Amino acid sequence: MQLFLTVALELVAFAFTLLLVIEFSWGIYQHWQDVAVRTGFTSSTTLWNEYHKIFLNEIATTAFTGVVEAAV
């Protein structure tokens, strides 16, 4: 009887953990879908292209800041 209760409790704990993982994953998925809609991120846009644009913007900003500081 004790073994049966232990197994039942373990199954309930496992099911609850699985439910939490699914809900958490679904929340993350929905959040990133909202981010994609707000930012105009499409499936044709790769993450590498986004990182590349950010990297180029950072280089341009740094170079511009350096030129302004050198001029002052």
pLDDT in tens, 4-56: 999 999 999 999 999 999 998 888 888 888 877 787 766 656 666 777 777 77
Q: Are 48 and 41 in contact (CB under 8 A)?
A: no
Pinpoint the alpha helices (H) of the chain.
2-39, 47-71
pTM above 0.75, yes or no: no
State the Cα–Cα distance between residues 6 and 13, nearest whole angstrom: 10
What Rg do the C-alpha atoms of the chain give, in angstroms? 25
Q: What is the pLDDT of residue 5?
A: 93
Identity of residue 36: A
Hey, CA dihedral for 53, 59, 62, 65, is it positive or negative? negative
The more confidently predicted of residues 70 and 38 is 38
